[in-house]
Chains A and B, each alone.
Chain A
Amino acid sequence: MSATSGAIGRKKKRFFRREDLALYIMALPTVIFLLMFCYAPMFGLIMAFQDFNATKGIFGSPLVGLKNFQYLFATTDAWIITRNTVCYNLVFMAVNTLIAVIMALMLSELTSRKLAKTLQTIYMLPYFLSWTVVAIVVTAFLDREYGIVNKIIQAVGGKGKTDWYKQKDIWPPLLVFIHAWKGVGYNTVLYLAVISGISQDYYEAAVLDGATKFQQARYITLPHLRFVISISLIMSMGSIFRGDFGLFYSVTKNSGRIYAVTDVIDTYIYRGLITLGNVGMSTAAGLYQSVVGFLVLLGANWVVSKIDPDSAMF
């Protein structure tokens, strides 16, 4: 103990010490990985300023300045995909957190431990499904010919011939519902774990002082959840410019008629790259997404560190 900390304590801190060689070797695979797959793509962002041409490659394609960005922001596309991405994420965050906190509070109060455990397991179930599977589950309800929804409408005397994948109005609430369906269980279980870790002493003291259940939840449980909620909120702020690709592509069946309410930055980039082959503009959209997302994350962390330094991420 004293030997090593003594070495550090000396005036000049040496960055490389022979005894650490093994540590550098252990870090090497990950460092190579990060350079190749995380840092190298950052340099690829230069394509956002190029008229990229696959045959000329990244070093041969001519620079065009901000032209790609001009194209991107000239149409209403940029506004629509930004609005959709940000609004959906904000609503997802609010809805999922709210429902999960309420459910965790209720679960933690159940007198039957067995029931609470079983329910917890069931709630987690949708979390383990891929978006493709979720898309198929949704189809089972919304399919035009065979879907349950249209069949029910027919049964009660309606025509029931609606193609739901072309109805713009239903998708915003539907996507919020589907996202909550898949994600709330995870958050519920997380909050429940935190609640069950709260010392019983607090509650005992509160009961002796005559606190009601509601007061206990308000003044003991919720403050304990604050830390974990703020961390997950900061994390989601960081990805507020990232649309969940599976949800917005697979579940909506990439249906063109409803792009106005389902197109997010990620699906836009994907289409630009794969369907349209417009590399420059897709990269520009990606750069826009990364930079603004980064700034939002820093901002969120700054705000949190002002309000409550303990809950800030860094």
Chain B
Amino acid sequence: MANIESRDAAIANDRVVSKNRFNSLSPAWNAVFSIILILVSLFALVPMLLVFIVSFSSEASISYNGFSFFPSEWTLAGYGYLGKMGDQVLNSYIITIVHSVFGTLCCLSVMSLYAYVIAQRNFPARRFFTWFLFFTMLFGGGMVPSYMLNANVYHLRDSFWIFIIPSLVSAYHVIILRTFIISTIPETLFEAGKIDGAGHFRIFIQIVLPLFKAGIATIGLFQLVGRWNDWFTAYLYIDSSRLVPLQTLLQKIQNNIDFLKNNAEIAGTPEGLNMLRNLPTQNLRMACTVIVVLPILCAYPFFQRYFVSGLTIGSVKE
């Protein structure tokens, strides 16, 4: 029951507020609520605005005023430096895109098949397969054994496949996909398919997939964003710079700035100060942040609907 209720909730999200007029908030309270909520929204917007502005501030104005909403001098130099780093940034961008898009596609195909299997009500091994998956959400080996296996046994260290293979299946996402199938596709449809002599693969491709687009889109978007934002995988496993994705590049720029700053302070050597001077500049760091964030920020308002339906389905049990 809860399934259906929540799905309705997801659909109903489009009509966020449709309370009857006779029960609507008094204008005064409405104004108070609006003002509070708008002020809260500034918390989300202002810090991003700052990063955006700093990325266009000149280095001189940063060292004089610090990071400021009102820089004394505007410039594109930060983005110019990004261009000068040329290959590295482009390369990282490509890695990020491939990691996100190819990874998501692989993920979806493997996970949706399994979701289909554990959504079969008449399948005797269904409970076993569900628990086989679900248990991995409850208990795990943790980071060290995984690291040892990936690096030493599966030899995924410094290989592109580290982005794809160890993150191929998310148990949580499979459970959500299964809930999507159960709640959107009536059992009778499977039965009808079987009576017509279609095998499971035919049923999956011709009946389930077309009805299942919303579920796939939801999980696909979660995967896409998660992979786009993944900085840790490469941080842990990747050494060669040609395989470093954008987020990790950003993290490394951030680390280098701190490292040199702290050590130049201690040592105060001419070389240290010299390195500091040649360091990626402040506005470069912010410019890099902007190009990492921009694609997601531009895209997500259009996809938000799917996220919301995913959130509600995700918090539903069988």
Contacts and interface: CB of A to CB of B under 8 A. Distances in A.
B258 to A, nearest CB: 6
A135 B44 CA distance: 14
Main secondary structure of the interface of A (DSSP, over half): helix
Contact of B147 (A15, A29, A106, A273): A273
A44 B315 contact: no
A181 B146 CA distance: 31
Given A133-B292, A286-B141, A313-B317, A26 B117 contact: yes
Interface string B13-56: 10111111011110101100110111011011101101100100
Given A30-B113, A146-B66, A197-B12, A110 B142 contact: no
Given A45-B145, A193-B10, A185 B34 contact: no
B43 A181 contact: yes
Interface stretch (B82-90, B166-174, B211-219, B266-274): B166-174
A132 B254 contact: yes
Contacts of A204: 20, 23
Contacts of B300: 121, 124-125, 128
B123 A23 contact: yes
Contacts of A185: 44
A213 B142 contact: no
B191 A190 contact: no
Interface stretch (B72-80, B97-105, B131-139): B131-139
Interface string A157-177: 000000000000000000000
Interface stretch (A33-41, A69-77, A79-87, A89-97): A33-41
B304 to A, nearest CB: 6
B182 interface: no
Interface string A221-249: 00000011001100000100000011000
Interface string A10-25: 0001111100101110
Contacts of B66: 143, 145-148, 150-151
Interface string B279-318: 0001001100100110011001100100111011001110
B135 to A, nearest CB: 8
B149 A44 contact: yes
Interface residues on B, range: 35 or more
A253 to B, nearest CB: 6
A136 B191 contact: no
Nearest to A107: B37
Interface residues of A, number: 117
A186 B311 contact: yes
22 contacts: A16-B125, A23-B120, A26-B114, A27-B117, A29-B110, A38-B171, A41-B142, A47-B144, A47-B148, A103-B40, A119-B37, A122-B41, A128-B225, A128-B229, A128-B300, A131-B229, A137-B48, A143-B66, A148-B50, A228-B6, A231-B316, A279-B144
Given A125-B300, A200-B20, A290-B141, 7 more contacts: A15-B125, A31-B132, A45-B142, A126-B44, A140-B50, A250-B251, A283-B145
Interface of B: 2, 5-6, 8-10, 12-13, 15-20, 22-25, 27, 29-30, 33-34, 36-38, 40-41, 43-45, 47-48, 50-51, 54, 62-63, 65-68, 110-111, 113-114, 116-118, 120, 122-125, 129, 132-134, 136-149, 152, 154, 165-166, 168-169, 171, 174, 188, 191, 194, 199-201, 204, 225, 228-232, 236, 247-248, 250-251, 254, 258, 282, 285-286, 289, 292-293, 296-297, 300-301, 304, 307-309, 311-312, 315-317
Q: Which 6 A-B pairs have the closest CB atoms?
A: A44-B145, A197-B9, A41-B141, A286-B142, A130-B229, A22-B200
